[in-house]
Structure 1
């Protein structure tokens, strides 16, 4: 007669006994380190699920000198795509037993103080690794970070030359694809460009793509209006006061992000213009609301969920297998043109 014993609080030894394997095999399966056959791994996972096994995080942390926490630094949480980054990061970390320690640079405190907080967490090793999206960080600070000997990955900034991983988006080709559409599909030639902050690498790359594509089509940028704003809805509304002087001769307005495009479209409507009919307005980001405004916004899709997901996978690879993942890498994700009605289609 077979009697199944149910333990109130399962231990690794008991899991090993139920699975018919050694404790070290169970440990490797739980930690995702070392070789465990797929059949054995599934058997162990089935036992864990059946008995609702939860590892003692304090004991695991002490034995491995790990916190099972990954730092995530974002410039804000109010933008249209930061939530997608968080979702991608959280999905990976939680599935592998890690927690997220979030630092927001514009959370009401001084940005310098916020940066000191996350740098301190890294130096004091209160996290096992860090995913950093800090648009205004300087190379000297990054060089110091690279000497901390901790897995770090930067989002949307390329520091591979300083020995640090990065996940970036191909802004330039995204901008080129937008201008190609405006010129080749619609025949537009007089196109204004609304840049983001001068310190923004994203803004600079998108502007470079704008200029490069126009040159390929034999269009000079010298006489085209270019404005600098701040990537916000209010920034778009404010810059419209300068832009409106040129509307009578413009075919289109290309905004370096969707929020500025929305602000400009609102002001155009208030001024009696019809976006997409009188003057085309296009953006960059593909914010979650971009297809639900009137007219729906033609834009360039940024894969921000994938940015978060891939960065989390990479940071855990470095944390758990430091001998395998040694050389810094730059991972570039492609953008995608999303055609809606605001361009005149």
Structure 2
């Protein structure tokens, strides 16, 4: 049964009905009319598939199912009340670690700002970046191995929630003194005249860029495959290779030696998402790091918007 279909007010009424084992007294304590309390009992019976209260010589008595659920229900309502009435957490007193998975460029671009903000806001929280394994980051979140994931994959299904952090267009990236950087008109033929580098954790030589080229009857020469963007950017600094990457990669320090040109081909932009599991909804440390990621990401988008300006 989905919790979103349950009326919490009904559970409060059920708790009182089970405590009193009497519709009239329960109604009086709750400030309800007796018909309203009777209606709530009927709805509760349908919800739990049990009579809960049955007639006895001296009035009503609880069923075995009602006796079994009485204390757990009361404890659950008490915990919910504590959560609702609790004040904001004392961030400076928090202790623990938040485990984050992101590919190399987002980890590098966000990591310094995240670490600095945590040191100011919650110095007892450690930030642990887990290794990136292409394709299984969301499954690791589901298994509880990590707390947050920054990925291009959107995971919009229960019990996960996803928030878009930014959308990044593609650009052609090369070293600043690359022969193509001085070309007055950087067109498709100029782009395809040079060897290319791609990034793939699996060693694949082709991807979405090659699919787009194939649709117009063209192809490129992929001369190198790197396992990470930072590795690829380092290679771009010292070779005549070209890369068609999302502009977000220009947030790395090595980008100071690189330049960009518009892609002479229509390519769909790439979106970056923050994915979280509902098991950490009440974890103040994970909540804080998620808030900081959301706050820092727009600043990066502003920088990236100027890359091709």
TM bucket (normalised to shorter chain) is 0.3 to 0.5
Normalized per residue, which structure has more strand?
2
Which has the larger Rg? 2
**Greater RCO between the two (CA within 8 Å, min separation 6)?**
2
User: TM-score, with normalisation over the residues of structure 1?
Assistant: 0.37
